[in-house]
Structure 1
């Protein structure tokens, strides 16, 4: 009879102790959740920055080569796609030339080579 009584007392002690030590696991869960949220936010910010950089590379804000070398070298396909896209959006030749870092004549020749009527 002493053994069931001892086991009952030990069980009650463990139940009482679980109330005190159960809260520490909750704080760990909260920390993990906060870390997960911050990691998710940082990942989203990095994705946005990467998208911005990719768009800047597609637009080519600065001149790609020197002005004398431009005439001798063909226009890169990315710039051609950009010119066609800007023309389809209704931009003028001057605006397209400014955005693609090409001269007006080069923009016109690219458009004509792709069969776009001006």
Structure 2
């Protein structure tokens, strides 16, 4: 009986010392999560910078359009035209079509008149 207890005690001490030399799996996972987090933060920062640049460009374009020399009207995109036509065929009023498509009533009427 004593031999079994001494054997188990010796085995437990051996396992205890081996645990210090084991590679910590959680440290590796923690490092990977930290790297992933940093990557996401960097990409988020870069995306915000790009959005800010685009917003500034749009603001500058808006100033040009509001200047003394107004540029000619931009053509209406085919997707918007198709949306207007589909809404008209469904019986949607012109006012609602204009709100949904961000066009004026006259532009909506012009698209519908081409049918």
TM range (shorter): 0.3 to 0.5
TM-score by length of 1: 0.44
TM-score by length of 2: 0.45
**Higher RCO by CA contacts (8 Å cutoff, separation 6 or greater):** 1
